[in-house]
Amino acid sequence: MSLQVLAAGPQTTVQGAPRIGLRHHGVPLGGPADPLSMALANRLVGRPPWASALEIALGPARLRFSAATRFALTGAQAKLRLDGRAVPWHRTLPASAGSVLEIGPCLAGARVYLALAATLAADVFMDSTSTYLPAGVGGHQGRALRAGDVLAWTGEDRTLPLLETPRQLRPPLARRWTLRVVPGPDWPAGATLAELAGLRVGARMDRMGLALAGGGLPEVAQAAARSSEALFPGAIQRTPDGQGFLLLADGQTTGGYPHLLQVVRADRHLAGQLRQGDDLRLLAVDQATAQAALAHKHALMAHWLPGLRLP
Digit-coded pLDDT (tens) for 95-145: 999 999 999 999 999 999 999 999 999 999 999 999 999 999 999 999 999
For residue 85, the model assigns a pLDDT of 97
Burial 240-250 (b: 16+ CB within 10 A, else e): eeebbbbbbbb
Distance between CA 202 and CA 247 in Å, rounded?
13
Mean pLDDT of the chain: 93
Distance between CA 235 and CA 183 in Å, rounded?
10
Domain positions in the chain are 2-169, 176-301
**Residue 34 and residue 269 in contact, taking contact as beta carbons nearer than 8 Å:** yes
Q: What is the pLDDT of residues 263-279, one digit of tens each?
A: 999 999 999 999 999 99
For residue 226, the model assigns a pLDDT of 72
Q: Give residues with Cβ within 8 angstroms of 243, minimum separation 6.
A: 202, 211, 212, 213, 214, 215, 217
Least confident span in 170-179, 202-211, 225-234, 302-311: 225-234
For residue 225, the model assigns a pLDDT of 56
Distance between CA 109 and CA 74 in Å, rounded?
11
Least confident span in 9-23, 131-145, 193-207, 250-264: 193-207
Q: What is the pLDDT of residues 237-247, one digit of tens each?
A: 999 888 899 99
223 confidence band (pLDDT: 50, 70, 90): low
- Given CA atoms 47, 309, 233, 111 in this order, what sign does their dihedral have? positive
161 pLDDT above the threshold of 70: yes
What number does CATH give the domain 176-301?
A: 2.40.100.10
Strand partners, 280: 177, 199
For residue 61, the model assigns a pLDDT of 97
Bridge pairing between strands 229-230 and 254-255 = antiparallel
224 confidence band (pLDDT: 50, 70, 90): low
45 pLDDT above the threshold of 60: yes
